[in-house]
């Protein structure tokens, strides 16, 4: 006899999560030495095969594309297959075949698998995840550490949030039993993940899976090295064959094949706004195809502002601008990319910003002194170079520091600050996803007007920082910017949301604002079935006094 669901007698509580604490990777420390040794091992070894993993099988690569290190693009680290429609259909079939058992598995068993995954990330695979994230996505020790820790946090906190959903049950009166059956979606979920966070790459396929769904996961080809490690962790943690299937290749093709299936139940996307809109259009165009309305979750681009009131602390502002704009080369969706600064603070701040930015070390991420690594690929470097050229030719703009790009060895873009006198300039409205901060200086008594400018200048509404000590001014900003950002920071940089503390997401062009890190994000992957059981069914159809 097979016992697929040996439900234990009792309702255990899942562990209380705490945030994983960052190590500092001091030069020569054991943790730094271990990661550097792992980096040496990855670079010295043969080019890695980073295959599709369908129904638990790591498939032969076939036609393939190279994966290289952005800070040294001559260094080939791996090869990924280019998925065909046949591969994608095989992944969908594997997912659908796994659905029956996985969707009926006790949620506590699924929880155990992802708690195990957290420990594997934190233990056995930590150095490998650090090394592959640093090499493949060009993150410094510090930025890779934030990323790997966030993946641990995602697994642990999502389990706690799942518990909240499953244990939230309705009120029942005497004689009636009401139950909410938090079913997974009927079909499969497509997860499309961006290059910039290993944690997001792990979170998007695992969150629907934790809630009992089966998944086809297409990671960014630019994070393939670390995504392969994440996939191995899923398998080792006990995610059954077919529950999460990884396919590499052209996102458009993968999405089109998925959208041709009646079983597409949802898409979990993080990436650029334009791509998400194309996905939404694809869903609309195929509406009659689907058995259910697919759930669409999209966390997308940003043009995140820092606005300072004259009462702001200049040093805190300086730090937030530098870290917010230039950490990870400005390639966080939350990065500060435009600033509105008052004339009275500008004179001193201008010099400090120029000096500090000019002193940031750009280069090889395996070196401790590096603050800014390479941007992710040649297209990103070219995009920034084109912006710099445009700015240099425009009378309303001045490059205060930076403004050059070098692509010979790696894809390096100097951290750059542009001052503009045009508050509606393209540098104040468009996302460039690189180390570029645009500054508009306003007159001190124009606070409210400037808040209005900020709010109406870009299509995005992701993160925003307000600096100041004048409470009335801060409250005015919070009011005017009510719909401007899903994440508002007061006297803090606009990046670095922490799982379990700040749940992340944005509105307007920045996404569906489903708040990663909150119960709302998990709620999207269940479809309630309400069950009312009557212990005293009516035996008489008549109303009183009918005669
Ligand atoms: N709001 C957030 O939480 C958040 C987080 C991280 C990144 N981002 C955003 O992501 C972007 C950077 O990441 P990226 O360059 O990897 O984004 P991207 O949109 O280029 O790619 C994201 C994913 O979609 C796939 N894809 C590309 N074209 C596609 C298409 N036509 N149809 C379907 N899938 C397609 C990619 O292969 C990748 O897997 C930035 O705009 C950034 O702001 C947002
Ligand atoms: N959650 C991250 C950003 C994710 C997007 O790239 C932050 O808060 O900085």
Nearest CA to ligand 1 atom 12: 271
pLDDT grade for 6, boundaries at 50, 70 and 90: low
Give the pLDDT of residue 503.
97
Q: What is the pLDDT of residues 61-79, one digit of tens each?
A: 998 999 999 999 999 999 9
Bridge-based pairing of strands 412-413 and 405-406 is: antiparallel
Q: Is the pLDDT of residue 547 over 80?
A: no
Give the pLDDT of residue 532.
98
Q: What domains are there in the chain, each with its CATH number?
A: 56-300+511-531 (3.40.605.10), 304-490 (3.40.309.10)
The mean pLDDT of 172-191, rounded to a whole number, is 98
**Residue 232 CA from chain centroid, whole number:** 20
- What 3-state DSSP class applies to 488? strand
- Spell out the residues 6+ positions from residue 389 whose beta carbon is closer than 8 angstroms to its own: none
Give me the count of residues in the chain.
547
The mean pLDDT of 420-445, rounded to a whole number, is 98
Percentage with pLDDT > 90 across the chain: 97
* Kind plus residue range of the DSSP H or E element containing 266: strand 264-270
Which residues' Cβ are closer than 6 Å to ligand 1? Answer: 192-197, 200, 218-220, 251-252, 255, 270-272, 275, 278-279, 299-302, 333, 431, 433, 462, 504, 506, 510-511
Rounded to two decimals, what is the model's pTM?
A: 0.98
Ligand nearest to the CA of 151: 2
pLDDT grade for 5, boundaries at 50, 70 and 90: low
Give the pLDDT of residue 2.
53
Dist. CA 136 → ligand 1 center (Å): 16
Distance CA 462, CA 267 (A): 20
The mean pLDDT of 4-23, rounded to a whole number, is 86
Q: 511, 521 in Cβ contact below 8 A?
A: no
Which residues' Cβ are closer than 6 Å to ligand 2? Answer: 196-197, 332-334, 495-497, 504
The mean pLDDT of 29-38, rounded to a whole number, is 98
The mean pLDDT of 391-414, rounded to a whole number, is 97
Ligand nearest to the CA of 324: 2
Q: What is the pLDDT of residues 510-521, one digit of tens each?
A: 999 999 999 999
Dist. CA 330 → ligand 2 center (Å): 11
- Token readout for 98 is 């796994």
Q: For the stretch 379-408, what's the b/e string if a residue is b when 16 or more beta carbons lie within 10 angstroms of its beta carbon?
A: ebbebbbebbeebeeeeebebbbbbebebe
Distance CA 82, CA 59 (A): 12
The mean pLDDT of 275-294, rounded to a whole number, is 98
Distance CA 193, CA 228 (A): 13
Q: What is the pLDDT of residues 436-469, one digit of tens each?
A: 999 999 999 999 999 999 999 999 999 999 999 9
- DSSP label at 394? -
Nearest-atom number in ligand 2 for the CA of 498 is 8
Is-catalytic flag, 299?
yes
Q: What is the pLDDT of residues 206-245, one digit of tens each?
A: 999 999 999 999 999 999 999 999 999 999 999 999 999 9
- Token readout for 189 is 């979920």
Give the pLDDT of residue 298.
98
Nearest-atom number in ligand 2 for the CA of 200 is 4
> Which of 154, 133, 137, 163 has its CA nearest to residue 145?
133
Say yes or no: ipTM exceeds 0.95: yes
Nearest-atom number in ligand 2 for the CA of 516 is 1
Averaged confidence pLDDT in the chain: 97
Q: Is the pLDDT of residue 1 over 60?
A: no
Q: Is the pLDDT of residue 482 over 80?
A: yes
Q: What is the pLDDT of residues 489-509, one digit of tens each?
A: 999 999 999 999 999 999 999
The mean pLDDT of 346-371, rounded to a whole number, is 97
Which one of 128, 163, 299, 327 is the catalytic residue?
299
């Amino acid at each position: 006899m097979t016992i697929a669901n040996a439900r234990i007698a009792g309702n255990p509580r899942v562990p209380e999560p705490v945030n994983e604490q960052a190590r500092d990777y001091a030069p020569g420390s054991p943790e730094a030495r271990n990661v550097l040794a792992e980096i040496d091992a990855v670079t010295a070894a043969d080019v890695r095969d980073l295959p599709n993993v369908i129904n638990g099988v790591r498939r032969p690569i076939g036609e393939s594309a190279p994966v290289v290190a952005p800070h040294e693009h001559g260094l080939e680290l791996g090869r990924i297959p280019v998925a065909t429609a046949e591969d994608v259909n095989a992944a969908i079939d594997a997912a659908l075949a796994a659905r029956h058992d996985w969707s009926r598995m006790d949620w506590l068993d699924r929880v155990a698998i992802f708690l195990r995954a957290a420990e594997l990330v934190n233990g056995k695979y930590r150095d490998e995840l650090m090394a592959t994230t640093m090499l493949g996505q060009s993150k410094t020790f510090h930025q890779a550490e934030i990323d790997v820790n966030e993946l641990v946090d995602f697994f642990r906190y999502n389990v706690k949030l799942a518990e909240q959903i499953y244990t939230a049950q309705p009120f029942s009166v005497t004689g009636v039993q009401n139950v909410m059956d938090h079913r997974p979606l009927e079909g499969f979920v497509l997860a499309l993940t961006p290059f910039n966070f290993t944690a997001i790459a792990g979170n998007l396929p695992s969150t629907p899976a934790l809630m009992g769904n089966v998944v086809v996961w297409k990671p960014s080809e630019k994070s393939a090295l670390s995504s392969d490690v994440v996939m191995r962790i899923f398998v080792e943690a006990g995610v059954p064959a077919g529950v999460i299937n990884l396919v590499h290749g052209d996102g458009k093709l993968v999405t089109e094949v998925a959208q041709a299936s009646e079983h597409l139940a949802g898409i979990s996307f993080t990436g650029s706004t334009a791509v998400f809109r194309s996905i939404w259009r694809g869903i609309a165009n195929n509406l009659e195809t689907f058995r259910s309305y697919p759930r669409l979750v999209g966390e997308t681009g940003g043009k995140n502002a820092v606005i300072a009131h004259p009462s702001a602390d200049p040093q805190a502002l300086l730090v937030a601008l530098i870290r917010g704009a230039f950490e990870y080369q400005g390639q966080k969706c939350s990065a500060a990319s435009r600033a509105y600064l008052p004339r009275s603070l500008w004179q001193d701040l201008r010099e400090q910003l120029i000096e500090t930015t000019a002193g940031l070390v750009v280069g090889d991420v395996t070196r401790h002194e590096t603050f800014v690594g390479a941007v992710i690929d040649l297209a990103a470097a070219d995009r920034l170079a084109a912006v710099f050229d445009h700015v240099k030719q425009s009378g309303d703009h001045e490059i205060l520091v930076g403004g050059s790009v070098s692509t010979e060895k790696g894809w390096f873009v100097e951290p750059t600050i542009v001052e503009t006198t045009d508050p509606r300039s393209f540098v104040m409205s468009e996302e460039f996803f690189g180390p570029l901060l645009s500054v508009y200086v306003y007159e001190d008594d124009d606070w409210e007007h400037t808040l209005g400018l900020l709010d109406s200048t870009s299509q995005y509404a992701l993160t925003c920082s307000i600096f100041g000590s004048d409470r009335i001014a801060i409250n005015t900003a919070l009011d005017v910017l009510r719909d401007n950002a899903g994440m508002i920071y007061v006297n803090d940089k606009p990046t670095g949301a922490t799982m379990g503390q700040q749940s992340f997401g944005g509105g307007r062009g920045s996404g569906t604002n489903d708040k990663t890190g909150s119960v709302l994000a998990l709620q999207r992957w269940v479809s309630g079935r309400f069950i009312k059981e009557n212990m005293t069914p009516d035996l008489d159809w008549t109303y009183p006094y009918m005669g």
